[in-house]
A and B are shown apart, each in its own frame.
Chain A
Amino acid sequence: MTNHWVDIRNANLIIVMGGNAAEAHPVGFRWVTEAIEHNNAELITIDPRFTRTSAVAQDRAFIRTGTDIAFLGGLISYLIETDQIQREYVLHYTDAALIVRDGYGFEDGLFSGYDEATRSYDKQSWMYEMGDDGFVRRDESLEDPRCVYQLLRAHYARYTPETVSSITGIPVETIQRIWRKIAATAVPDRTMTFCYALGWTQHSIGSQIVRVAAMVQLLLGNMGMPGGGVNALRGHSNIQGLTDLGLLSQLLPGYLTLANAKEQDYAAYIDKRTKQPTVEGQVSYWKNYEKFHVSLMKSWFGSAATERNQWCFDWLPKLERPLYDVLDTFERMSKGELNGYFCQGFNPLASFPDRAKITRALSSLKYLVVMDPLNTETSEFWKHYGEYNDVDSSAIDTEVFRLPTCCFAEDEGSIVNSARWLQWHWAAAPPPGDARPDIRIMAELFLRLKRLYQEEGGVFPEPILNLTWDYDIADEPRPSELAREYNGRALEDLVDDEGNITRRAGEQLSGFGELTADGRTAAGCWIFTGCWTEDGNQMARRDNSDPYGTGNTLGWAWAWPANRRILYNRASADVQGRPWGANKAFIWWDSEQGQWTGADVPDFPTTSPPSQGQMPFIMQPEGVGHLFAGQSMVDGPFPEHYEPFESPVPQNLLHPGNSRARANPAARIFDDDREALGKPEDFPHAATTYRLTEHFHFWTKHARLNAVVQPEQFVEIGEALAEEIGVAAGDWVKVSSNRGFIRAVAVVTKRLRPMQIGDRQVHHVGIPLHWGFTGVAKKGYLVNALTPFVGDANTQTPEYKSFTVRVEKA
């Protein structure tokens, strides 16, 4: 979240789109109900279904799955053409005025630089034009045809209400009504928040859906504002922590990035990531990249990391392929390229797309290690469970090891929530039986590996032998020890410009501003620096005082970065440093004190006066929010609507003549998986998978009370489709895709209505995902038997939310 849960109460308009907050986040949803009741806010849902969130919403639209960019792109055009943008904000705080290079273009569904053979773009033309002074050229009038504002305007001019309606299935009058309500938040004293979840990310265009929402918020001046922002409601309680700590294949902790195989030179690696300002005088905080990187290497390798060996740069893995994501891993596993797989807190047989492929892949392993508190389907993938898991056990040689782990409530530690809060928690009960904390299992594994290298040698032992391991009990590091390590400490005395000691060697650091690139500091995750200081564990704080009445409780737990609760909060004040609206006052310039002050930790150099002209988006080299994403996205600087890889609609209505632009032209798809896609004539219905509030993924079917309140697998179909196939509520249906099938009870509902898309009527099929063949609920089918093995072009998040099926009476 750019903002935080409690801040939702400050919103005047709440758009829940690409998510179902009441269903999947019922506790956080309390702040939506607070906004409705106490801030006279309106809640609008935009979803294929009438959801539990819709049940308490004031307005709603029903959108065909996977067409959100059409709706929001059309909104951008509407805001621009009707001049309902926050103009002063757009002019100063976004790149609207910046000039783009001449070579950039967009034609027939493809951006400039497309290479069909590699399904990728050369992004050279997607750049701002640099002036003779070494900074980006700009046009304050916003009239230059090459300025971002005019390019944006031209790009979305095609997204008329009629076109948007024909793609999304939403009637024109509904589209215009909701656009009007959103546009009303362009004024300084009203804000809108977008709350989204996996309904936006689990598409082959997922990242671009999130981006188009961010662009809308920039145009409306809703970024950095209380009650504004683009807010990802994370699906697991600690999934934010997973990305923060760099568990994605291309990341290091704190969103530092691994080098690729061509980047063998340390200086070039650092130089590429050290972003210097491209607009004069801007902060461009990534200019400090090397401080974060060297402190990480010192945390990992201690005294073995020296300037002379370039802080052990050669010990880091270099990526031979762009990503080693789960789709790529299981593709290689299915081809027999992997021997073993460690599966920690993860249930791939149930969770990954195209379950038949996952079964083939796991069957080709020599060994599989499952670390989980529960008896997962993955750990029994080899076992025959009738039609639920129809495998021939005698043909599978994979050896499976199960290592029982603790549940979260059986161990202490921190959990990072959607709002970036690190909240410390304590063990409520001891783990049962042989279950152990994950940390202990990993520690023992590491120590055994290290011992083998010590005793028997091996190829490239240095990173294993030199990893710092200064824990009181070697095979049982405490969470508090790890937390202190992430925070970081001084390895030598730190001194200021005048030679005064500011931090003694060995002391915990208080913020990432103290980090150095010369090896005097260590920090395991620079964005967490400040979480465990000399004052103790900041994550354990439980002071909920709220001095400004904004719901911003700086004494409750600790948020990264630097305990800031709303990112880009400098943008809550105008160029002169005054709040945009009295009712939205949050951070402002106090000229008497000569510093920024207010309800939050300023996301800005504290003493940089407005007159200095530094802009709020300090992580960007230009200091402004990006309407034009020149380098950060692989599939286009402006989001463009493409159809899901499996769509009931045979053409992209924006580019009907270009089959290359039907689905995302820059999304990776493996050959076998392309072959496994279904055709609309065989699988005519749009399908989407999702969670129910009674369950959490594939876990809670192991808990009796959850099983009682939602015991058995079902799918949701509309009354019209039910009538078409002769099914009544409570009947069993068979749902098939080109990859597999499930059987389930039919919930026949008014809440799913057919949509008119071009010349065809499209039915949606809703497929809750919680059931499987282990647990205490009724046995069921793993729904990812149905889903396609293709992911988002940028993140490779699988396209679980848009695929096609056929439904028939079972």
Chain B
Amino acid sequence: MNNSQNIIARSATTTTPPQVRSHVEEVAKLIDVSKCIGCKACQVACMEWNDLRDDVGECHGTYDNPTDLTANSWTVMRFSEHESDDGNLEWLIRKDGCMHCAEPGCLAACPAPGAIVQYANGIVDFDSEHCIGCGYCITGCPFDIPRISPKDQKSYKCTLCSDRVNAGMEPACVKTCPTNCIEFGTKEDMLARAEKRVGDLQARGFRDAGIYDPAGVGGTHVMYVLHHANDPNRYSGLPKDPRISPLVGAWKGVTKPIMSAIIGITAFAGVIHYMTKGPKEEPEDDPGHDDAPAHTLGYDATRRDAGARGEGEDSAGDRPKGEER
């Protein structure tokens, strides 16, 4: 698990993270909202790369679909129509998903050792194998991003394609974006790009154009260029000054040992329950395991490949194998 050498923070863990590596640069994804056409190619690329298949839903009277993040939709486009006082209409389209905070509230809140990790390049990743499904990461997240799967009671969100990035590639959404409104690189380079874009927007009359890289969470590794950085809320409720919920601080300082004990007991009870009653769901409902024999080659290849790249957190077992590639 070579990438474990890159872990700089690990949920509910007191051991010191590895520190030998010194040349890992922080990365960032830059989303230039002023260039986004809302085509949802990023949504599709995300589902393709991560082998996710959300349900075919319904139209609820907007272009948004799926209408919210789910355990199978790690990014969604949010459309909002904004009419200014002088009648000028804007259709603001924002790609929503994990912001990969420098100070991740989810990780701080997580009671399950190693279920959430932060890498030296800034990516905040969920290691679902260790997730206990408590949902504290949702409480901890100032952007309301993680979602618990009703299928396995584990929490999911954008990994910033940590598997691709670790292999020197850009995230799938960046690769597919037709207008280059999503870019990827070192955080330093992305900030420089963003400055340039902001300058262009300001020259075109958007006086309040700016970069969204909120300090309240220590900055983020997913940043936006906004035409109206003074009013991020206009972009489907992007928080102006996101901060980690005070509940998380309280949890960490005072209640953590108690809560950990309770959760430990609960988890232990769960294990006993599992040993005596078996798994909660019918095995055939879980294509991740049931279909594996029929796809032995693909399964093994994925494992071997992942092993070679040292991506233990890219747990092949979490991937639905029933879908055709």
Contacts and interface: CB of A to CB of B under 8 A. Distances in A.
Interface of A: 22-23, 26-27, 29-30, 33, 36-37, 50, 52-56, 58, 693-694, 704-714, 728-731, 745-751, 776-778
B91 A751 contact: yes
A729 B61 contact: yes
A56 B204 CA distance: 12
Main secondary structure of the interface of B (DSSP, over half): loop
A748 B63 CA distance: 10
Given A708-B66, A709-B43, A731-B61, A52 B53 contact: no
Contacts of B81: 749-751
B47 interface: yes
A268 B123 CA distance: 75
Contact of A55 (B38, B44, B61, B62): B38
Interface in B31-60: 34-41, 43-44, 47-48, 53-60
Contact of A693 (B40, B57, B197): B40
A701 to B, nearest CB: 10
Contact of A26 (B39, B55, B323): B39
Contact of A33 (B41, B92, B181, B323): B181
7 contacts: A30-B180, A53-B37, A708-B55, A712-B58, A730-B59, A748-B61, A749-B81
Contacts of A36: 35
A747 B39 contact: no
Contact of A777 (B37, B43, B56, B91): B56
Contacts of A27: 178
A33 B179 contact: yes
A29 B61 contact: no
A745 B197 CA distance: 38
B65 interface: yes
B258 interface: no
For A23, A27, A50, A694, which residue has the most chain B Cβ atoms within 10 angstroms?
A694
B179 A50 contact: no
A785 B134 CA distance: 51
Interface string B292-324: 000000000000000000000000000000010
A321 B311 CA distance: 68
B282 interface: no
A714 B60 CA distance: 9
A728 B181 CA distance: 33
B285 interface: no
A747 B93 CA distance: 16
Contacts of B323: 704
Contacts of A706: 44
Contacts of B61: 714, 728-731, 745-748
A331 B85 CA distance: 52
B68 interface: no
**Max chain A C-beta neighbours (<10 A), residue from B43, B61, B83:** B61
B175 to A, nearest CB: 13
Given A26-B178, A707-B56, A747-B59, A694 B40 contact: yes
A473 B295 CA distance: 37
B89 A56 contact: no
Given A33-B35, A55-B38, A704-B53, A711 B48 contact: no
Given A26-B178, A705-B44, A777-B56, A56 B65 contact: no
A527 B62 CA distance: 46
Contacts of B48: 705
A503 B114 CA distance: 74
B63 A747 contact: yes
A33 B177 CA distance: 12
Interface in B198-218: 200, 204
A711 B56 contact: yes
A291 to B, nearest CB: 42
Contacts of A704: 53, 56, 323
A446 B304 CA distance: 51
Contacts of B40: 693-694, 709-710
A52 B58 CA distance: 21
A713 B59 contact: yes
Interface string B171-209: 000000011110000000000000001001000100000
A37 B200 contact: yes
Given A33-B179, A776-B56, A777-B56, A708 B65 contact: yes
Which of B37, B44, B48 counts the most chain A CB atoms within 10 A? B37
Nearest to B73: A708
Nearest to B83: A750
A709 B65 contact: yes
Q: Which of B57, B197, B200, B204 has the most CB of A within 10 A?
A: B57
Nearest to B90: A55
A33 B180 CA distance: 8
Q: Give the 8 A-B CB pairs with smallest separation, nearest first.
A: A729-B61, A730-B61, A22-B37, A712-B59, A55-B91, A745-B59, A26-B39, A693-B39
Contact of A30 (B34, B73, B179): B179
Contact of B93 (A55, A58, A749): A55
Contacts of B38: 52, 55, 693
Contacts of B65: 694, 708-711
A26 B44 CA distance: 14
A26 B41 contact: yes
B53 A22 contact: no
B137 to A, nearest CB: 24
A23 B61 CA distance: 18
Contacts of A55: 36-38, 90-93
B37 A26 contact: yes
Contacts of B56: 704, 707-708, 711, 776-778
* Most A-side CB within 10 Å, residue of B36, B40, B56, B60: B56
A52 B36 CA distance: 9
A456 to B, nearest CB: 46
A50 B91 CA distance: 8
Given A56-B35, A705-B47, A705-B48, A778 B179 contact: no
